[in-house]
Structure 1
């Protein structure tokens, strides 16, 4: 006769797939009612405020779109990735809901992976909405600057580019949020805004576009696969497939580190 008192909580838990779906539903509901989600959508309007006509000699009604696009890509996108990635687990710790999750018949790595899937879903939705708002903003505020239907391929390519950007950086920030109990946001900011600087300008000072910059690899992939008709970029001695493997390695590597750290973490 089996002694039920010696059985662990996992012996009576639902199947792995059911546990994962259950966790994802819980996490998605939190983001739906979280003000932070809607704030991250609204900040996409900020680049549109920088649009203006810049008159250059010999050019009438010259419109500079580089400014708003750069703000969106290099400031707002890292910020969205940082906030969703770092706070994925740290919010659970601050709200003391992590103890409730750990009391359920689920493993710690399942919590991390389910949380990762959730922020990927939310992040892709937010970045899709944000880039669409930016695209429509250009069309409305600057009539004639873009063709609404003629540039749909640009919009689709931008969705994939930003999705890749978010997926890589948010996974790195997820690990930071699990690993650090304090100052996770500070370290995340350092990674988001100084990684490209050091990778590009320090390590890449004598080699052009540096392979040490994660942003370079993402931009290289976009220039080859998503936006090849509009931008050109390369990394010395690197093939596009190598950059793809680098990004895949970063995602799965940091996801593994986050799950491994979660298993060994002590929570009050």
Structure 2
């Protein structure tokens, strides 16, 4: 079955959105960066943030898609990241959603995670892929994006990072959700919650929090799995969700609640 995504036609088999096949969650394979980026590029295509960062994507669809696939593949090579994909049991090789989580800090949990991911061949692949991306960036760049908008967005994000994460010592060691995306036609089946359960289990066992930046549509789902809002975005709100809802959110392990209860006594 062929499909067209942002002007690019592929021939990969696509599961039916009306399928009742059970959902399975598995760790992403190293070569799945293209499919993961494809999901993100399609799902985010008409969002306010994409309108701001990639205003020329309609004219340069290949550049737009490549930017997502390169980021997704880079995360698969980065030892601090772990990525999970959601698939239907009837087609377990075809991802319909994904979540990438970054382990920050230098506590025992972080060291254990890094030890399980570090290897010479993974380092070599990561370096080669980095070099490949740099060559492409120098040779052709990303014509779908607006560089000034990207720089502005990163600058605005840095102030939120300082306020909610970098200046709070107990949040230094944490898991952070880089992105959690479910293909539009597969939403409403609890897939996002199943993906988040993977990082919540790890964070609970390690006694660390989980942080993320939620869009308006994502805020309700994150609240439903125990996240609390730390604060609304600063000036980024006009870019991410036009000032409606969304913001910086955090999930805390039960060990934190126990510790706070003892301190109150």
Q: TM-score surpassing 0.5?
A: no
TM-score (norm 1): 0.28
Structure with bigger strand share is: 2
Structure with bigger helix share is: 1
TM-score (norm 2): 0.28
Higher-Rg structure is 1
